Amino acid sequence: MTNNRLKEIIERPGSWTSAYVDGDGPRPRVEEESRERSVGDRLLEIGAPAEDADAIAQALGERRGVASPSARIVLASAGEVVLDESFSGARRGPERLVQGPLPLIVPLLRHESDDARYLVVEASRDSADIRLETATRGTSSRTQIEGDSDDITKVQAGGWSHANFQRYAESTWKRNQAEVAETVREIVRESRPVFVAVAGDVRARQLLIEELGDLEHTPIVEADAHTHADGADSAKLDDAIASALEDHARDRIQRIRDGALADNGSAGAEGIPAVVAALQQARVEAVVLDNRMLDADEELLALDAAPWVASDESEMLDANLICRTSAAEALARAAVLTDAEVVIEEEPASAEDAPREERPVREPLASLRWPDPDDATEGA
């Protein structure tokens, strides 16, 4: 979703009903219908208008074709579904059903925070399957390339020596991978994936990576998986992609932290009061929110105009109070309204049965568009 579209939703006045739930699953149709009715009934129980509850229940009845597990967020106002988004992968955090003067946006941002686009190339010596994928939405485009293999078959019957045949075959394979590499470079230029994952036949992978060379500063992740072989599975490729996505998310947060620490920290803001002050001045370039902050009790004031967020009434200027809301929602809302990037920092990957690490909630951290003028004055 574009930032402008989300801003339009946030700025739309009126009452909102929000549902963050599991998406489509392998359950029998009768169970799916029961779940949809349950969501509608529970929305009514928390005070949602009947037209909103009905609209959301009906929306959930429409299959989205996203592989299970998946998550879904639906926002409704005045009986109209204003947003309906599905994400591949399990729900992040508990189910949330909310009715009030603001739409629920943090679950949406939490998924979109990791919505990196990447390219997957599964290569064989005479063909390639190229998929542009998005971490939380699956495949968005697919290209299949069929290279030259007929000539190799013909020369085998001609009585050439093994060495001559091998040289000829190698030349054909290299020509095929040059064609694949050109297509990959074109997609990288147009779509700017965060990395390219290469799997398939060992020699095809080697030739393709040689042909790609320095891929416009886009890293290449090689997966030791011959995915086109009979009986092969995609586990190694899936693991390589998951690891690369984790590295990308970590690097993205580290870049924001490094930016915030620049110039002896004057290019950043840390902690709720400092980040609120920077958002009020529209100085935030990007803000990192700890996922555990979403369950914290601290609240801030959400306003109907700039400065959009306040710690108390004295900071409201000419804006009007919409409501008190969770600090995470208030900070994220103000960030979107001032064109700042919002990144939710998730827990590091661990074994499914591993206990959750005990730690305090990390303070929000923001990198700034320009330093605090007061800091510059103090340093003069």
Q: What radius of gyration do the chain's Cα atoms show? A: 25
99 pLDDT tier (thresholds 50, 70, 90): very high
**160 pLDDT more than 70:** no
C-alpha distance from residue 307 to each of 278, 315, 325, 333, 363 (Å):
10, 8, 15, 11, 21
Local structure of residue 65 (DSSP, 8 states): -
pLDDT in tens, 283-333: 999 999 999 998 899 999 999 999 999 999 999 999 999 999 999 999 999
CA 35 to the chain's CA centroid = 26
* 241 closest CA partner among 213, 261, 258, 219: 219
Can you read off the two tokens belonging to residue 242?
């998951």
pLDDT in tens, 208-253: 999 998 887 899 999 998 876 665 668 899 999 999 999 999 999 9
Q: What is the mean pLDDT of the chain?
A: 88
379 vs 1 pLDDT, higher one: 1
378 vs 190 pLDDT, higher one: 190
Alpha helices in 148-191 (DSSP H): 150-156, 162-191
95 pLDDT tier (thresholds 50, 70, 90): very high
Q: Which domains does the chain have, with CATH numbers?
A: 1-112 (3.30.960), 117-247 (3.30.420.60), 262-380 (3.30.1330.30)
